[in-house]
Chains A and B, each alone.
Chain A
Amino acid sequence: MDVQAASLIGAGLAAIGAGMAAIGVGNVFGSFLESALRNPAAADGQQGRLFIGFAAAELLGLLSFLIAILLYLKAA
């Protein structure tokens, strides 16, 4: 296998990480909504924490996207 093909396969594999981060982000918002519906009075006070969790989960997905795009541009 030449390096170019390996880079493209690696880019595709790295893109899986973006999908995994989608699960993570969905988890963050889903759990928030679930507990916000149980106790709507406390929901507004937790919005900052919601976005911190979102930012942390999203960053990891964006990193895998970055790896994918670096590999893709290297092969292109």
Chain B
Amino acid sequence: MADQGKVDPMHQFEVQKMFDMFHVGNHEVAFTTSAMWMVIAGLLLWVFMIGGMKRQLVPGRWQVAVEGFTGFISGMMNANIGPEGRKYTPYVFSLFMFILMLNVLGLMPIGLFGAHPFTVTSHFTITGVLAILSFAIVLIVGFWRHGLHFFSLFVPHGTPIWLMWLIPVIELVSFLVRPFSLALRLFVAMTAGHVLMKVFASFIIDGLAASPAIGIGVGIPAMALMVGISGLELLVAGIQAYVFALLTSLYLNDAINLH
């Protein structure tokens, strides 16, 4: 391996133990930085929602912000599922807000004050559990509403009879891949963005360590790029949360209305 810089871009993803909790068999269950950031996200979300749920007739700024989010998600559910989707709006809304809050919290520049932001969604275990939750709800809703008729999902309308040996197999595989693609997309998008930012940050640090001239020559363009990429990452944080919620609603639509 060529010379590794002093800055390890993967170090930021290490989960550190904060204190022990209990043991399950031989497995240690500890309170980690990951868990701490999830608790922080949950608390912030709780404060955000409480502050905006005053139901004033003339809404203030805060209430408009909360209603903007709720209206956005319920509009999406209505457009994708129809009136049947109202029941599942709370789940998709919590999913969207939780992922959005975790993504944005991971980007906060609080490293300036000595705290270390940690992007919980950059771990496949977390996004995997969220994706399995969505997938399980799709399966439960599908089998509960349609029984074994749910399997007709694998036979799209108008499939020619001589293709019956192929199309259901393809549909089955694409159905089973859903939780993986859902989880992978969020996890890799967040990981990639944070690695990119740390690589640019290491340009500045390594440049300054080499010599002041190189530090200024490399550092200023790298810093300018980092500011731009931070903005892009904020966009990606929003889009990834939206895409997760959107795909969940589409999969729910499959389970509720079949094809």
Contact = CB atoms under 8 A, between A and B. Distances in A.
A55 B247 CA distance: 9
Among A59, A73, A76, max chain B CB count under 10 A is at A59
Contacts of A65: 188, 192
Interface in A31-53: 48, 51-52
Given A62-B192, A69-B191, 10 more contacts: A4-B1, A48-B79, A51-B243, A52-B246, A52-B250, A58-B185, A62-B188, A63-B184, A69-B195, A76-B4
A75 interface: yes
Interface of A: 4, 48, 51-52, 54-55, 58-59, 62-63, 65-66, 69, 73, 75-76
A63 B185 CA distance: 8
A19 to B, nearest CB: 13
Interface of B: 1, 4, 10, 76, 79-80, 181, 184-185, 188-189, 191-192, 195, 239, 242-243, 246-247, 250
B245 to A, nearest CB: 10
Contacts of B195: 69
A59 B184 contact: yes
Closest A-B pairs by Cβ, 4 of them: A62-B188, A55-B243, A59-B185, A76-B1
A49 to B, nearest CB: 10
A55 B76 contact: no
Contacts of A66: 184, 188
